[in-house]
Amino acid sequence: MSANRRSSTRHSVELSVHLGIQGTDHDATIRNLSLGGASLSFTRRIAMGERVQLRFQVPTLEEAIEVAGTVRWSGDDSLGVQFDGLRARDVYALGKYFETL
């Protein structure tokens, strides 16, 4: 069995993101993005399993993508979030964005 259980291709990006943690907004940067989740540069450790909200823009969609997720790992300068699920318009816009990378 493969150690990589991801079901979506990951893409290296640099996107600003507003990260909501327990009702407080923080600025962070998405470094790695897929339809299933994201890796963020963030200088604070977050508990594994913590619920978060992400809001970010991609050039292929006028409105911000807003998605809830769960922290799957956290280090000194980064964290990984698994998305709960994206809306159809967000999946389409991300697919078009990934084509440009």
Question: d(Cα 9, Cα 62) in Å, to the nearest integer?
Answer: 23
Q: What is the pLDDT of residues 16-47, one digit of tens each?
A: 999 999 999 999 999 999 999 999 999 999 99
Residue 61: phi, psi to the nearest 5? -150, 130
What pLDDT, on the 0 to 100 scale, is given for residue 3?
A: 47
State yes or no: pLDDT of 93 exceeds 60.
yes
Closest CA to 84 of 58, 53, 57: 53
Residue 79: phi, psi to the nearest 5? -150, 155
What pLDDT, on the 0 to 100 scale, is given for residue 1?
A: 40
State yes or no: pLDDT of 64 exceeds 90.
yes
Count of helices and strands (H, E) across the chain:
1, 6
Residue 63: phi, psi to the nearest 5? -85, 155
What pLDDT, on the 0 to 100 scale, is given for residue 8?
A: 74
